[in-house]
């Protein structure tokens, strides 16, 4: 293989299939690699369908005439992603493993293995774009606002971004499916994957209980009235409505309950009624471990827009760098259910600047003074 070769991460889905096809049609020297990032005893039951995905990926590569490689990154995934995932849940936070997976696996381990096979660049089926200005590579939103995945890619630095292609980033999802069908790709009608990759179609709480010892405890109102029982504080997230198991409570209207706080020390979950309850909102957050796509912070104090969750509309904010290297973020408007452990990701127009991990907020139970 030559350094001009491009290694496509083929997942067995339609997006990476079309990414590989478009590169092949462009005349590039292309090969495909399937990454298996998780394995356990449920593989044989089809609950984490990596084997079927691998077969689909191989079929796509055969259909368009690409060499096909497989690699098992389960050990690297456990060390680089899953152990952090568990530690965050134990601490009562709600991590985003997809963000870590992109940094540690898809744009690090995969890139290293691709280079070992002689590839000079990698490509994936992410909905994002890259451009270069004066030797600096920028991460840009995908053209389809409903599918843009730059939020999950904000930890990618210059070294990886300079060797990365996103062949479908300029396309809307319906066009990707149309291209796949027109080319007869075996994945053209395959359903998009959802949820966390290593959990698959399993119930989240059931899966997590294998690794975290959780104790049942009280669900209380902010005033301390017991209104139900939780199955373990770590299983719930701020703003959650489903799965609380709170029935009719005497003295309260028939209205949904939402999680607003998690008291790890007392093993208590705090809930309120109403999707717009004031205790769900915050205007400030503190964030740690900032990472900037360019390699440097845009300034010690700057204005931009931000997202605190995937697909959230852009929110105007001011970002200040603290002496200890953490960030203080002030939003122009109150933000609902901002969740410690998740990522706050910063933008200027279509450029993703970078992001950080949310540590605390000024919501009533957010931990920020």
pLDDT tens-digit readout, 235-269: 999 999 998 999 889 889 999 999 999 999 999 99
pLDDT in tens, 86-138: 999 999 999 999 999 999 999 999 999 999 999 999 999 999 999 999 999 99
Residue 261's domain comprises 214-273
Please tell me whether residues 234 and 288 are part of one structural domain: no
Confidence of residue 41 (pLDDT cuts 50, 70, 90): low
Please tell me the predicted confidence (pLDDT) of residue 1.
44
Residue at which a domain ends, from 273, 290, 320 = 273
Please tell me whether residues 128 and 243 are part of one structural domain: no
Residue 323, in any domain of the structure: yes
**Structurally, how many domains does the chain consist of?**
3
Which two three-digit tokens encode residue 129?
């774009």
Please tell me whether residues 240 and 288 are part of one structural domain: no
Please tell me the predicted confidence (pLDDT) of residue 38.
83
Pairwise CA distance, residues 208 & 86, whole Å = 9
Residue 261, in any domain of the structure: yes
Residue 124, in any domain of the structure: yes
Which two three-digit tokens encode residue 230?
């939780």
Please tell me whether residues 269 and 313 are part of one structural domain: no
Query: What's the predicted TM-score (pTM) here?
Result: 0.94
Annotated catalytic sites, by residue?
101, 197
Question: What is the greatest pairwise CA distance in the chain?
Answer: 72
Please tell me whether residues 159 and 66 are part of one structural domain: yes
Please tell me whether residues 321 and 235 are part of one structural domain: no
Would strands 164-165 and 119-123 be described as parallel, antiparallel, or unpaired?
parallel
Residue 348, in any domain of the structure: yes
Please tell me whether residues 255 and 330 are part of one structural domain: no
pLDDT in tens, 3-37: 699 999 999 999 999 999 999 999 999 999 999 98
| More confident site: 199 or 136 | 136
Please report, for the domain that includes residue 232, its CATH number. 2.30.30.280
Pairwise CA distance, residues 148 & 166, whole Å = 12
Give the mean pLDDT of 323-345: 98
User: Considering only CA atoms, which of 161, 121, 123 is closest in space to residue 140?
Assistant: 161
Confidence of residue 196 (pLDDT cuts 50, 70, 90): low
Pairwise CA distance, residues 189 & 177, whole Å = 7
Confidence of residue 213 (pLDDT cuts 50, 70, 90): confident
295 in helix, strand or coil?
Answer: coil
- Per the CB < 8 A criterion, the answer to whether 343 and 99 are in contact is yes
Helix (H) or strand (E) holding 229: strand 226-230
State the average pLDDT for the chain: 93
Which two three-digit tokens encode residue 113?
């293995």
Confidence of residue 179 (pLDDT cuts 50, 70, 90): very high
Please tell me whether residues 243 and 333 are part of one structural domain: no
Residue 311, in any domain of the structure: yes
Please tell me whether residues 32 and 124 are part of one structural domain: yes
Pairwise CA distance, residues 213 & 167, whole Å = 43
Please tell me whether residues 157 and 34 are part of one structural domain: yes
Please tell me whether residues 48 and 138 are part of one structural domain: yes
- Would you say residue 194 has pLDDT above 70? no
Confidence of residue 39 (pLDDT cuts 50, 70, 90): confident
Residue 196, in any domain of the structure: no
């Amino acid at each position: 293989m030559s350094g001009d070769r491009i290694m496509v991460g083929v997942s067995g889905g339609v997006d990476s299939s079309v990414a590989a096809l478009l590169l092949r049609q462009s005349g590039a020297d292309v090969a495909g690699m399937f990454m298996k990032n998780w394995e356990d005893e449920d593989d044989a039951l089809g609950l984490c369908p990596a084997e079927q995905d691998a077969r689909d990926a191989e079929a796509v590569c055969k259909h368009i005439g690409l060499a096909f490689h497989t690699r098992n990154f389960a050990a690297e995934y456990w060390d680089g992603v899953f152990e952090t995932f568990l530690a965050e849940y134990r601490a009562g936070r709600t991590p985003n493993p997809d963000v870590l997976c992109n940094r540690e696996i898809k744009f690090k381990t995969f890139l290293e293995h691709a280079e070992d096979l002689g590839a000079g660049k990698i490509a994936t089926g992410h909905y994002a774009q890259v451009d270069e200005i004066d030797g600096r590579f920028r991460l840009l939103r995908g053209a389809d606002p409903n599918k843009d995945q730059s939020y999950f890619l904000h930890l990618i630095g210059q070294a990886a971004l300079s060797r990365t292609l996103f062949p479908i980033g300029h396309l809307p999802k319906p066009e990707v499916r149309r291209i796949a069908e027109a080319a007869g790709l075996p994945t053209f009608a395959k359903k998009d994957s959802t949820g966390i990759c290593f959990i698959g179609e399993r119930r989240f709480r059931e899966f997590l209980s294998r690794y975290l010892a959780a104790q049942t405890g009280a669900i209380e109102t902010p005033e301390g009235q017991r209104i139900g029982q939780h199955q373990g504080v770590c299983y719930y997230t701020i703003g959650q409505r489903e799965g609380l198991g709170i029935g009719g409570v005497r003295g309260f209207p028939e209205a949904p309950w939402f999680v607003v706080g998690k008291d790890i020390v007392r093993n208590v979950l705090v809930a309120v009624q109403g999707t717009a309850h004031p205790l769900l909102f915050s205007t400030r957050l503190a964030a740690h471990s900032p990472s900037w796509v360019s390699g440097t912070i845009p300034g010690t104090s700057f204005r931009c827009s931000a997202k605190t969750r995937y697909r959230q509309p852009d929110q105007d904010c001011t970002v200040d760098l603290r002496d200890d290297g953490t960030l203080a973020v002030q939003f122009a408007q109150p933000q609902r259910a901002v969740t410690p452990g998740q990522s706050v990701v910063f933008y200027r127009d279509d450029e993703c600047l970078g992001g950080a991990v949310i540590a605390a907020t000024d919501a009533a139970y957010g931990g920020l003074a």
